[in-house]
Amino acid sequence: MPGRVVVITGASAGIGAALAQLLGARGARLVLAARRERELQAVAAHSAPEALAVVADVTTRADVQRILDAALGRFGHVDVWVNNAGRGISALVSELTDEDLDEMFLANVKSALYGMQAVLPHFRERRRGHIVNVSSMLSRIPMVPTRSAYSAAKHALNALTTSLRIELRKDFPDIHVTTVLPGMVATDFAANARHGAVDARAALFAQPVGEVAEVIADVIEHPRAEVYTRPQYHQQAAAYFAAEDVATVEATSPFAPRPR
């Protein structure tokens, strides 16, 4: 990790902030991007002496390119690009509007696509690099009906991530593309959710954000195609897809209705 240049989007709070502090403590050189300048500057100040804060909206392609340009201007190259920015929602399928779906795909899919497409020419030129896309366990098993559009968007992100990995495998084996699959994490993610959401920090089963950051740091050090942030998530997904009829699994916990 020492000396490695890592770009992290959505770095002003939550998983992004925790990852920045962890990687900074391990000697990484950081480029941190988010919309909230004050919070972003605070995270940068507590992460690494050289950390570069770039105020940007990753749902705008030009802003994502500006993040890359700033990283290259400061450090000369990028080793790892972490697409972490995203947004949740509370709406059943029967309630979804066009605006709901458009917002979920913009915030959770197109923002990551912009990051992948921005940094990819640089990685191809260097013939190495690592793209890490932070998805969700809900992308694999959409067990919470009120997160319908979020689950759908993250599912699309998984497909893009896998497709890029296969695209690059033959000619660029040293460009790694990873999907990270956390469950509920104890952050303020819900505070920005469209139509509001229950604060995950109040849930006893929510995963501490530091644990998620540790998993991402480990997959940067030891690249793998996919990683669940808890072993039981992998087991849960395997059981779900191995079922002869997934409806039988959906009739059991944790598929029970949850508060919004």
Residue-range domain boundaries for the chain:
5-250
CATH architecture observed for domain 5-250 = 3-Layer(aba) Sandwich (3.40)
Contacts of 22 (CB under 8 A, 6+ apart): 210, 213, 214, 217
- Has 233 been annotated as catalytic? no
Query: Which one from 150, 228, 233, 240 is the annotated catalytic residue?
Result: 150
The structure's pTM equals 0.91
Euclidean distance between CA atoms 56 and 105, whole angstroms: 18
Contacts of 158 (CB under 8 A, 6+ apart): 135, 139, 140, 179
Tokens encoding 55: 């105020």
Cβ(154)–Cβ(139) under 8 Å? yes
DSSP 107: I
The region that residue 14 occupies, defined by phi over 0 for left and psi between -120 and 50 for alpha, beta otherwise, is left
Q: How far is CA 92 from the centre of its chain?
A: 23
pLDDT tens, the chain, 260 aa long: 689 999 999 999 999 999 999 999 999 999 999 999 999 999 999 998 899 999 999 999 999 999 999 999 999 999 999 999 998 888 999 999 999 999 999 999 999 999 999 999 999 999 999 999 999 999 999 988 899 999 999 999 999 999 999 999 999 999 999 999 998 887 766 667 666 666 555 566 788 999 999 999 999 999 999 999 999 999 999 998 999 998 988 887 666 555 44
Cβ(204)–Cβ(179) under 8 Å? no
pLDDT at position 184, please? 85
Cβ(113)–Cβ(119) under 8 Å? no
pLDDT at position 260, please? 44
